[in-house]
Chains A and B, each alone.
Chain A
Amino acid sequence: MVSVLLAEQSYLLRKGLIHILRQFPEVGEIEILGSQLGIGEVLQHFEPDLLIVNSAITAASPDKNWESLLPEDCRLLHIINTGLPQGAPENQLSIYDSKVALTEKISKTLKAIGANRDQDESEELTPREKLILQHVALGKTNKEIAADLFISTHTVISHRKNITRKLDIKSVSGLTVYAILNGIINMEDIS
């Protein structure tokens, strides 16, 4: 499922975009913001695959410190409050775009997100992911896991993301419960 954060101040535009987004079965959660206020706080716990943001909201937060909070592979679509010139970038949606044009642009973006995921479509944990999960459940930090398994912290983080997506469990204690239930670690292993 693709999760979307929609930051748009106009009620009418929000309604229209939600209507179009809901036509795609792969779109899951849609979080909505009506201004730049609170965007940083939302991104602390909501990791969108797609951010659709009005250019006025981007302009209202010139330091854009929330941009660093976006997940690495998050795609961006900008809503532009004017018409677009010929050959404008495909990640720009104009408020004057027709439904067909909007649907096409959004569809392309969603496909790109999907293509990224296809490499790892299965919902089963790989042996490698099980090994990482075992370490996580034992309370190890990403750094410790990386050192133990001779891999980079970046690789550990990417494995953990996949584990969380496949199992739909985010917290370490939730992952620990899963690991015990599935015999990946023993109850006695945790203090």
Chain B
Amino acid sequence: MRIHADMKMADLVHLNFEVLAVVQRLQIPFGFKDKTISDVCREHSINVDFFLQLVQWFNERENFPQEQLIQGDAQWLVRYLHHTHQCYLNYQIPRIEKEIEFLEQLPDMPDHSARLMLEFFREYIREFTEHIEDEENTTFPYILALGNTLSGNMDLETFRKRYKTYTIDKYLEHHSDLEEKVFDLQSILLRHLPPPSSNCHFTNLLLEINRLGNDLKDHTLLEENVLIPKARQMELELNQRSANQ
């Protein structure tokens, strides 16, 4: 089905519940009544093109709107990624940690196995938090500053002073794969652990891990195929501009 700005927001959600993730990460409150996508976006000062690009992609996964997203304003993407981070750190990850803690209490879990999973996952949380803090404290402000300098909201000198040596390639040097360990955990639980009898709990844990892993894949795609090329493009534009001055 074609998704367009005049479609009712509630119909969009019914069409594909997954778009709720986009709604939440752009901080759009529910209670849409009969409002259209463009009404809701206007009310909450959301860039309607950006919203549509994301929900269309959610609805047709094989058609990633790379070019359009790169052409758009970087602040929207940064905002989206920032709220995604919050969602992982404050909700999805602690939930999975709690579920693994619960495994420890199950009587039929083999010795140490739950403890091992827990240690594995806690090590992952440490790495994950570090990765996200680096993006939040360094990369995102850098990209926003690039955008502000290009649009004239920050002068070039201030920008150069602040980022003497930093470029997006510095970020790539320690940009690690976030979903790998999530899928490893999924494999261990699914393929290599004797199944415990409290299957309902176990299944739910697997579903949540799978959801996080898939979500992280989307996140990586947005960072690697939009955010980084966009930053490179802005760096190039800024360098050309200073060369012309």
Contact = CB atoms under 8 A, between A and B. Distances in A.
A174 B225 contact: no
A44 B220 CA distance: 12
Contacts of B70: 37
B181 A181 contact: no
A180 B116 contact: yes
Contacts of B229: 37-38
A117 interface: no
Q: Mostly helix, strand, loop or mixed at chain A's interface?
A: helix
Interface string A85-125: 00000000000000000000000000000000000000000
Contact of B224 (A38, A177, A178): A38
Contact of B192 (A34, A37, A38, A178): A178
B112 A177 contact: no
Contact of B66 (A34, A169, A178): A34
How many chain A residues sit at the interface, stated as a range, is 20 to 34
A61 B241 CA distance: 24
Interface stretch (A10-18, A51-59, A75-83, A146-154): A10-18
Interface residues of B, number: 32
Contacts of A3: none
A20 interface: no
Contact of B225 (A15, A38, A178): A38
Given A38-B225, A174-B184, A32 B62 contact: yes
B187 A169 contact: yes
Contacts of A174: 120, 181, 184-185, 187-188
B225 A42 contact: yes
A182 B112 CA distance: 12
A174 B146 CA distance: 38
A60 interface: no
Interface of A: 11, 14-15, 18, 32-35, 37-38, 41-42, 44-45, 167-171, 173-174, 177-178, 180-182, 187
10 contacts: A34-B67, A37-B225, A167-B187, A168-B184, A171-B184, A173-B181, A180-B112, A180-B116, A181-B116, A187-B116
Given A44-B177, A180-B112, 18 more contacts: A14-B62, A33-B64, A37-B225, A37-B229, A45-B177, A45-B180, A167-B191, A168-B187, A171-B180, A171-B181, A171-B184, A174-B184, A174-B185, A177-B117, A177-B120, A178-B188, A181-B192, A182-B192
